[in-house]
Amino acid sequence: MKFAVLVFPGSNCDIDMYHAIKDELGEEVEYVWHDATDLSEFDGVLIPGGFSYGDYLRCGAMANQSNVMAEVKKFAQAGKPVLGVCNGFQILTEAGLLPGALLRNKNLKFMCRTVGLKVTNNDTLFTNQYEAGEVINIPIAHGEGNYFCDDKTLAELKANNQIVFTYSGENPNGSLEDIAGIINERGNVLGMMPHPERAVDALLGSNDGLKVFKSIVKMWRESHVS
* Set 86, 94, 142, 149: catalytic member: 86
Calculate the CA dihedral of residues 8, 76, 157, 99 and round it to 10 degrees: 40
* Set 71, 94, 144, 197: catalytic member: 197
* Set 19, 34, 142, 195: catalytic member: 195
Active site residue 195: yes
Active site residue 197: yes
Active site members? 86, 195, 197
